[in-house]
Amino acid sequence: MSSPIPSSKPGQSAHLSNGGVDFLLEVIDGAPVIRYWAASFKGELSQNLFDRSIANSDFDEITSPGIMREHSRGHLGYPTIKGHRAGLDWSTKFSVKEFKSDKNSFQIQLEDSDAKLTLDISATLDQFGVLKVSQELTNLGDTYFLDELNYWMPLSDCATQSLDFVGRWSNERNPQRRDIAIGRYVRDSHEGRPGHNYTIGMIALEKETNFASGQSWALSLAWSGDSQYCIEKNYEGSASISAGEVLLPGEVILATGESYRAPDLYALYSNSGLDGLASNMHKHLRARSLHPKSARPMTLNLWEAIYFDHNEEKLKKIVDAAAESGFERVVLDDGWFGSRRSDLSGLGDWQVSKEVWPSGLGSIANYIRDKGMEFGLWFEGEMVNPDSELYRAHPDWILKVNNRIGPTWRHQLVLNLDNQDAYNYVLDSVDKILSQYQITYIKWDHNRVLVDAGSNNRAAVRKQTQGLYRLFAELKKRHKSLEIESCASGGARIDLGIIDLVDRFWTSDNNDALERARIQRWSAQFIPPELLGTHIGADPGHQTGRSLSFSFRALTALFG
């Protein structure tokens, strides 16, 4: 038995067309339904593309659950929203209340008057074929507990495989490609940061797709906290791709009139292979007003040259060699502050160490600048050693649950940026150093995962992430020329959420050029290479022990 899909309400449809991509959305029985997302087409899209049959054991009429994927509309897969009011209003049935669209954008307001919720969805398709989507949920009733709010996009029947990335410290961005099977395939992150195993985005593609040809679809979430990517295929063979923030229990509790703004979503399509997909994203990011416009300075980071062995005379000799070699920036890494002679102590004490820098950093900073180079400095402001003056004075400033102290990682605990006193201490300490030494570049590290990440005993990964965004924004407001490098034990915080607040990502702690060729290539699937930092590694490599020619190491470094 065959049945046509119900028709949409006149005027309530959006046909976005830009950058070689078309996106068609229609309102069907009150539900917004994505009918097409792929290469631009001419003429009318045939209704036959969406016809389906009704089996003997099936709903009596064709259902169109749309982007909300609600059980109330007959959807049997994973829903877009999960939440409740003390067990009530757990099932929603949103309908379109307002609908506006033009050639390149749409704005929809959905409402469920029974559940007393509204959802505002807006999207813009730019000249590079990149669709940017936002969602904001507002509670109009009593206290509402939000568990999940995800984005879902339908996939073409041509998308038969998925591609994502896995890894660990010093070995990020290993591609894994697999067939899309019936069921739900999930890649999620629960580290309180993206992590070395983070995929940056989820890609669906044709079996024949390679770098130069074939279709591919991708989602990437603009978020630096916990996240989830998913591809789901139902028993009929229909597949969808999803992304969303992972919310811990109680992280989003909405009082009457309060709203939750989900992280923005980037949705990409290309019929020119994986390189075409990457090119579209790179063009989108390069078109931002805040994207670096000048050539990226050739940077010398001193970490592998000296580690914690800070000696001014030794450093001056390295600086001399750097100047002669054409370097444009020198970054002093870990070890310049407090009792930080190793990673066992001093983290959080952001005062220049009188032991190793008795006259302060002014001398070496001026020496570097007199050579015509910028002076940069390392911070890890979100962390603290238990063996530090800061922790001894303020043990209550860490993320924790009750009085339970979680396990250390690299001998560190995590400062609670939701605690205003802790936030102010970090902001003011960094601001003071930047002002005192006229520093225009910082490398900001993040060397551990978040566990038991509680603030006032409530889950706080979301607030911690928002606190970091607020901190970076304020530092850049106070220091107009400041550039920030995002590092997290290498490439554990590379994402499209923090990208508008930083100017460079440290791609990996692995400087082995052979390993870096892979790590950089797949990081560049979403991030332009000018934002991916890499250095000429030592010989032999400190991470692999492998010896490689200087020319190979230097040429590899030029790609970052």
| Count of other CB atoms within 10 angstroms of residue 421 | 10
Beta bridge pairs of residue 385: none
> H or E element: which one contains 390?
helix 389-393
Catalytic residue among 89, 226, 418, 509: 509
Tokens of 404: 């339970």
3-state percent breakdown (helix, strand, coil) of the chain, nearest 5: 20, 35, 45
- Give a three-class secondary structure readout of 349-377: CCCECCCCCCCCCHHHHHHHHHCCCEEEE
Catalytic residue among 445, 495, 503, 512: 445
- The amino acid sitting at 117 is L
Residue for token pair 């050579």 = 371
Residue for token pair 């009596």 = 60
Task: Please say if 114 is a catalytic residue.
Answer: no
C-alpha span between 380 and 464 (Å, rounded): 14
CA-atom Rg of the chain in angstroms: 25
Name the phi and psi angles at 261, rounded to 5. Answer: -100, 115
Under a CB-based contact definition with an 8 Å cutoff, are residues 488 and 445 in contact? Answer: yes
Task: Please say if 509 is a catalytic residue.
Answer: yes
One-character DSSP codes across 103-141: SSEEEEEEEETTTTEEEEEEEEE-TTS-EEEEEEEEE-S
**Of 264, 228, 222, whose CA–CA distance to 248 is shortest?**
228
| Count of other CB atoms within 10 angstroms of residue 500 | 14
| Active site (catalytic) residues | 445, 509
